[in-house]
Chain A
Amino acid sequence: MSDDLEKRLRAALRPVDPGESFTRGVLERIGSEQAQPRWGTRRTRLRWVSAALAASILLAGVVAHQWQAQRTRRGLDARRQLLEALTVTSHKLDIAYRVVNDQDDNTTASDPDDRT
């Protein structure tokens, strides 16, 4: 029974030929696809748009990273310059303080009447 059913199935499922027009149809579709411009098919366009989008995102990331790095570098430069200026100012003030102090000491030493 099983063999009989299998034999009948094989007979029922004999391949069917779509005819000569089928091959022509395939070759025509290939021809029309090749005739389309490079940007013609929807799939090609979608691929290009996706690639452009990915490239834009990558570029934006690189630019943002560079901008942030430049900003940090500028901040560090400004900090260094400020510290340098403060050091110079502090040094100058120290000199001025010492000059004023020395003058006061000299005045006190040269006036003996002031001693009580």
Chain B
Amino acid sequence: MSRPGEELLSQALAGDTAAFGALVRSHQRAVYSLALRMLSDPQQAEDLAQEVFLRLYRNLSSVGSVAHLSFWLRKVTLNGAIDRLRRERRYQAVPLEQAEDISGDTADTDPLLERRLRSLLRQLAPAPRAVLLLRYQEDLDPTEIARTLGMSINTVKSHLKRSLALLRERIGEIA
């Protein structure tokens, strides 16, 4: 049975590596998914996600609570991904065939449309892409997104509105 987050955090702070491992396990899904959807490269995403947890290990004392831990992880992951994308100047589309590797768990939805949506998401610039991920993957409201990305709420709303309009238009073109 998994231990409660706060207890794990305090045990990890006390130097319990197993507790830190449990913390990693409970947050790796969110961190890796954000990295993956930002970078569109499973290997790079894994490298970035591991780096994020290494930074967490080094800065564990500055993370006071589990609520702040989630905020911290999202912020560091997205900033790290945006930095990498800026360094490599690559946010062009990845061919659809490669999208197979980065799909989520299968469910009774339209897999082709989902692939197309993920592909369209990769065509967005890093900042609006991060906004969409926090909204629809992490289920955050615009205020929380603004706080995580250090943007104004109006900028977040504007990114959401424009990105959704663009996706709707492109999806419409296909259909």
Assess the A22–B32 pair: CB atoms within 8 A.
yes
A23-B21, A27-B21 are contacts. A16–B36 as well, Cβ < 8 Å? yes
Q: Which residues of B contact A16 (CB under 8 A)?
A: 29, 32-33, 36, 102-105
Q: Which residues of B contact A23 (CB under 8 A)?
A: 21, 24-25, 28
B113 at the interface (CB under 8 A from A): yes
Interface size of A in residues (CB-CB distance below 8 Å)? 23
Assess the A5–B50 pair: CB atoms within 8 A.
no
Instruction: Provide the bound-state CA to CA distance between A27 and B167, in Å.
Output: 39
* CB nearest to B36 among chain A residues: A16
A17-B28, A23-B21, A25-B46 are contacts. A11–B114 as well, Cβ < 8 Å? yes
How far apart are A50's CB and chain B's nearest CB, in angstroms? Answer: 18
How far apart are B35's CB and chain A's nearest CB, in angstroms? Answer: 9
How far apart are A13's CB and chain B's nearest CB, in angstroms? Answer: 4
Q: Contact mask B68-96 → A, CB, 8 Å, 1/0?
A: 00000000000000000000000000000
A8 at the interface (CB under 8 A from B): yes
Assess the A14–B46 pair: CB atoms within 8 A.
no
Interface size of B in residues (CB-CB distance below 8 Å)? 41
Q: Which residues of B contact A29 (CB under 8 A)?
A: 50, 54
User: Which residues of chain A in 42-100 are interfacial with respect to chain B, using CB atoms and an 8 Å cutoff?
Assistant: none
B67 at the interface (CB under 8 A from A): no
How far apart are A33's CB and chain B's nearest CB, in angstroms? Answer: 7
Chain A interface residues (CB < 8 Å from chain B): 1-2, 5-6, 8-18, 22-23, 25-27, 29-30, 33
Chain B interface residues (CB < 8 Å from chain A): 17, 20-21, 24-25, 28-30, 32-33, 36-37, 45-46, 49-50, 53-54, 57, 102-105, 107, 109-110, 113-115, 117-118, 121, 132-133, 136-137, 139, 164, 167-168, 171
Can you name 9 extra interface pairs (CB under 8 A) apart from A27-B17, A30-B54? A12-B117, A13-B118, A17-B32, A18-B46, A23-B25, A26-B28, A26-B54, A30-B17, A30-B57
